[in-house]
Structure 1
Amino acid sequence: MITLAHISDIHLSPMPDVGMRDLMGKRLTGFLNWKLKRHGEMNTETLGRLVSHMQEQNADFTAVTGDLVNLAMNAEVERAGEWLRALGSADRTAVCPGNHDAYVPGSLDYAREHWGDYMKGETVEGEAFPFVRRVGEVAIISCSSAVPTPPFMAIGRFEEKQAARLSRILRLLGDADYFRVVLIHHPPNAELQHPSFGLKGHRLFRQVIAENGAELVLHGHTHRSSIHHIPGKNHEVPVIGVAAASAAQGGTLDDPARYNLFRIEKAGEEWRCTMREFGFQRLGPDIVMRMQMRIY
């Protein structure tokens, strides 16, 4: 039996000191959005309490689906590396990047350099994404939808070359009978697409899953707890999003901070997977188990 924790949209705060030279282009609008709205809805205390609760579960592996930072300034990226090391060892933790981690050109490369083994694994064709981590008979496959975008845009992209590599990986792991968990920051299901913050290539992603199969897709980005499905090769594939890990209670847009814990095991020839959601309610100070459901 393998336990897999899923946490997303860390948005580490407070913001480091910002100079005028830091606020060129998109970072200016992002900084204003943070100061006027987001800084009051994302806080360190909430994140710290949630992470401590999750660490008490002693999961075999932790998946982080992006947006560790806000404006992807170098100081933010470096502090996120320290946060990852406190979260868990790199051999038990993997990151797929979010749009805030690729906020401006060059920032994702800087993150990959400083987050090191947290964003590495087995690959094909020598490309960074998708990469694979294997834990027993569970394979965690980390994709990237993170690209720099113009101001007021938060879209992701999933393109043909990455799709081809993901197809190959899914086939190989499926033939070996792994439980395949695909990580991507932006949700790939049609219900959650939007011109300014959706996934460009969401149909292509769903086509890859439909042709090659997977057992689970995990994402962030929406700051909401959600459960959808997309077609798979032999069965529908659950697509599960989780609320932002630093979202304070009382926020106007987001669900309060939460994480998901999956228990995965094989019974004979069939997989069994149970999900439990832990986090804050809109009222009350405690972290509670909000939901438990069997997925397989």
Structure 2
Amino acid sequence: MITLAHISDIHLSPLPQVGLQDLAGKRLTGFLNWKLKRRGELNSETLERLVSHMQKQNADFTAVTGDLTNLALRSEVERAGRWLEALGDSARTAVCPGNHDAYVPGALECAQELWGPYLQGETIEGQAFPFVRRVGDLAIISCSSAVPTPPFMAVGRFEEKQAARLARILKLLGDAGYFRAVLIHHPPNAELQHPSFGLKGHRIFRRVIAEQGAELILHGHTHRSSIHHIPGSSHEVPVIGVAAASAAKGGTLDDPARYNLFRIERTGEGWRCIMREYGFQRLGDDIVMRMQMRIY
């Protein structure tokens, strides 16, 4: 049996010292949004408690589906790198970037430099994404939907070139008999699309999954716990989102902080996968197992 932990939307706080020179363009609106709203809904104490609970599960691998930063200042990216090191060894931890990690041009490249092996794995065509990590029968495929966007926009993008590479990777891993878990920050299912924060190219992503299949798709971005499905080559593929890991209780829009734990094992020609959701509830101060369900 292999255990896979999933955590997302870290939004490390508080913001570091921000100078006027840092607040050009989109960072100004993001800074104001943080001051007026987000700093009251996302906090470090909640995150620390959730991560401590998750680490006690001693998962074989941890997937982080983006938004480690807020404004993608270099000091934030550096702090996120230290946070990743504390979270787990890079051999057992991988990130797919979120829109806040690519907040402005050059930010994602900075993250790739400073987070190093957490944003790396086996690739094809010499391209950074998708990259693959393998743990026993589990293959984690990290895609990127993170691109800089104008103010008030949080859309992601998934284009044909990355789709072609993802299709090849899924085919190779499927033929080799792996349980394929695909990471992408923005949800790819039609139900969660929106002009200002959806995934441009969601139909392209779903086409690849319909043609090549996958066993599991994990995302963040919405700050909500959610379960949907999209068509695969032989069965419906679960699409599972998780609440923001730093979301404090009492937020006006977000579910309280949570993480998911998947227990995956081969059973003959198929798979058994049990998902457990852990986290805070709107009442009470304890982290509890909120749900258990069989995915396969």
Alignment TM-score > 0.5, same fold: yes
Q: Counterpart amino acid of 2:96?
A: C
Q: Name which of structure 1's ranges 158-167 and 265-274 shifts more when overlaid on structure 2.
A: 265-274
Task: Indicate yes or no: 2:167 matched with 1:180.
Answer: no
Counterpart-to-counterpart distance in 1, 2:52 and 2:14: 19
Q: How does 1:29-178 map to 2 (within 5 A)?
A: 29-178=29-178
* DSSP 3-state at the match of 1:78: helix
Cα displacement (A) at 1:268: 1.1
CA drift at 1:31: 0.1
Q: What SS does structure 1 have at the residue aligned with 2:14?
A: coil
C-alpha distance in 1, partners of 2:267/2:67? 36
SS in 1 for 2:49: helix
| SS state at 1:230 partner | strand
Shift of 1:241: 0.1
Q: The residue matched to 1:237 in structure 2 has which SS?
A: strand
Say whether residues 1:274 and 2:283 are aligned partners: no
Provide the rounded CA distance (Å) in 2 between the counterparts of 1:276 and 1:66: 20
Q: Which amino acid aligns with 2:24?
A: M
Rounded to whole Å, the distance in 2 between the matches of 1:164 and 1:194 is 25
Counterpart Cα distance in 2 of 1:133 and 1:159? 22
CA distance in 2, matches of 1:203, 1:162: 13
Q: Equivalent residue for 1:288?
A: 288
SS in structure 1 at match of 2:34: helix
TM-score by length of 2: 1.00
Which letter maps to 2:125? E
Q: Distance in 2 between matches of 1:236 and 1:161?
A: 24
Q: TM-score, normalised by structure 1?
A: 1.00
Tell me how far 1:270 sits from its aligned partner.
Answer: 1.1
Question: 3-state SS of the aligned residue for 1:260?
Answer: strand
Q: Deviations over 1:204-229 (max 9, x none)?
A: 00000000000000000000000000
The residue matched to 2:210 in structure 1 has which SS?
helix
- Alignment partner of 1:134: what SS? strand
What amino acid sits opposite 1:7 in the alignment? I
Extract unaligned runs of 5+ from structure 1.
Answer: none
Aligned residues: 296
Distance (Å, rounded) in 2 between the aligned partners of 1:67 and 1:270: 33
Q: Say which SS state the counterpart of residue 91 (structure 1) adopts.
A: helix
Residue 197 of structure 1 is matched in structure 2 by 197
Q: What residue identity is the alignment partner of 1:149?
A: T
After TM superposition, give the deviation of residue 278 of structure 1 in Å: 0.0
Per-residue CA shift, 1:27-48, capped at 9, x if unaligned?
Answer: 0000000000000000000000
Deviation digits for residues 58-78 of structure 1, max 9, x if unmatched?
000000000000000000000
Q: 1:261 aligns to what?
A: 261
Identity %: 83
Instruction: Give the SS at the match of 1:5.
Output: strand
